[in-house]
């Protein structure tokens, strides 16, 4: 039997259906995890209350008025935290914090009695391998391992008595640097001791430069900037870069070599040169600059380089010390003053 050929009108086609209507006003529900960790818009100003309190309490000297101010800020922070997120957000540490003011009144600044050193040593002890010893063997293992670490630390620092360019000295520096983040291993305790010694030594110094330094040629931008600075500060003894033509006949060529230091200590505080050491965690400073017309100007910036230049002037050689800065400019755009409620 022959098959009947279908005409174009006979093709089976699915019935045309309208697509389901989409409610454009409907918004996707927020993810539960996102809602859990969402930051309230009023949280940053409230958090700054805690920051202000901590900045007051960590000062070397405290007055009763400052303690009362810090105590009030901590209590306001906790109260507003409940308002923003509910009482479930409160932890035991929030309660402990309201007693910090009382402790400061009884015992003085927090630097005098806080337990960061003990916590660090506890971390050192916990990092030792004890092999599940018990019945008195654990204490013996701790004792032996602690003394072994101390002996290695003494050995490491005894190597630093050699000349700076010698192999023993360089080896000791590498050992300390490599284990600086591994407390409880090799020279971990030695690195901790070095940090504590540095802090104690710095506290009694009003001004000093790092013993580690290197002599090298200045970069072109530092070299040119230094020439302009010397000409402005000492107009009677102008200098010029060696590869430039002098602007005045009695100008002297500027020495391109300098001694670069890692840090400078001013009033017990250590400030690092970020370009020299490779980090800027302690390179930001607030400077007060006297104006020639009277008054002072406040400057905020980052120390890039600290160096010494020995320059030959008409009266003979003279050593000059400089710090190259990256100055910050005040933001002049629109902003919210988060401190207005404090």
Mean pLDDT of 283-291: 88
Beta strands in 20-125 (DSSP E): none
Nearest to 302 by CA among 331, 323, 333, 277: 323
Among 50-59, 122-131, 222-231, 282-291, the range scoring the smallest mean pLDDT is 122-131
pLDDT in tens, 160-203: 778 877 888 877 777 766 655 454 444 455 555 556 556 556 66
Query: In this structure, what DSSP letter does residue 336 have?
Result: -
CB 290 within 8 A of CB 296: yes
Q: Calculate the average pLDDT of the chain.
A: 79
Q: What share of the chain in percent tops pLDDT 90?
A: 33
Please tell me the predicted confidence (pLDDT) of residue 321.
92
- Is the pLDDT assigned to residue 232 strictly greater than 70? yes
pLDDT band at 25; cut points 50, 70, 90? very low
Among 9-23, 95-109, 143-157, 299-313, the range scoring the smallest mean pLDDT is 9-23
d(CA 108, CA 102): 10
Beta strands in 136-292 (DSSP E): 207-209, 213-217, 239-240, 252-253, 257-261, 263-266, 269-272, 284-290
Top pLDDT among 180 and 211 is at: 211
Query: Residue 91 corresponds to which tokens in the numbers above?
Result: 């932890």
Please tell me the predicted confidence (pLDDT) of residue 128.
65
CB 227 within 8 A of CB 241: yes
Of 26-35, 185-194, 329-338, which has the strongest mean pLDDT?
329-338
Q: What share of the chain in percent tops pLDDT 70?
A: 74
- Listed in sequence order, the residues at least 6 apart from 333 whose beta carbon sits closer than 8 Å to its beta carbon are none
Mean pLDDT of 207-226: 91
d(CA 53, CA 66): 9
Please tell me the predicted confidence (pLDDT) of residue 2.
45
pLDDT band at 38; cut points 50, 70, 90? confident
Axis crossing angle, helix 64-85 with helix 100-107, rounded to the nearest 10:
170
Please tell me the predicted confidence (pLDDT) of residue 106.
92
Axis crossing angle, helix 167-178 with helix 137-158, rounded to the nearest 10:
140
């Amino acid at each position: 039997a022959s098959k009947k050929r279908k005409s174009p009108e006979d093709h089976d086609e699915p019935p045309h259906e309208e697509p389901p209507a989409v409610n454009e006003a409907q918004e996707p529900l927020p993810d539960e995890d996102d809602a859990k960790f969402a930051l309230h818009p009023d949280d940053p100003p409230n958090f700054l209350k805690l920051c202000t309190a901590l900045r007051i309490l960590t000062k070397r000297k405290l007055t009763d008025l400052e303690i009362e101010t810090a105590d009030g800020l901590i209590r306001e922070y906790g109260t507003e935290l409940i308002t923003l997120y509910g009482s479930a957000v409160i932890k035991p540490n929030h309660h402990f914090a309201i007693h910090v003011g009382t402790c400061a009144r009884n015992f003085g600044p927090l630097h005098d009695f806080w337990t960061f050193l003990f916590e660090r040593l506890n971390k050192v002890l916990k990092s030792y391998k004890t092999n599940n010893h018990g019945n008195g063997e654990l204490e013996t293992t701790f004792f032996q391992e602690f003394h072994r670490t101390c002996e290695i630390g003494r050995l490491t620092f005894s190597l630093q008595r050699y000349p700076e360019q010698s192999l023993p000295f360089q080896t000791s520096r590498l050992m300390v640097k490599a284990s600086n983040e591994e407390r409880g291993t090799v020279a971990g305790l030695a690195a901790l001791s070095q940090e504590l010694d540095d802090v104690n030594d710095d506290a009694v110094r009003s001004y000093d430069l790092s013993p580690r330094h290197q002599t090298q040629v200045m970069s072109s931008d530092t070299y040119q900037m230094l020439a302009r600075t010397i000409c402005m500060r000492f107009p009677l003894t102008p200098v010029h870069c060696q590869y430039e033509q002098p602007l005045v006949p009695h100008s002297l060529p500027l020495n391109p070599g300098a001694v670069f230091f890692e840090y400078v200590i001013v009033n017990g505080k250590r400030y690092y040169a970020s370009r020299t050491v490779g980090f800027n965690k302690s390179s930001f400073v607030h400077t007060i600059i006297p104006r020639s017309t009277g008054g002072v100007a406040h400057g905020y910036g980052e120390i890039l380089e600290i160096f010494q230049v020995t320059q030959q002037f008409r009266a003979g050689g003279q050593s000059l010390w400089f710090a190259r800065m990256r100055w910050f400019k005040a933001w002049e755009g629109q902003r919210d003053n988060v401190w207005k409620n404090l």
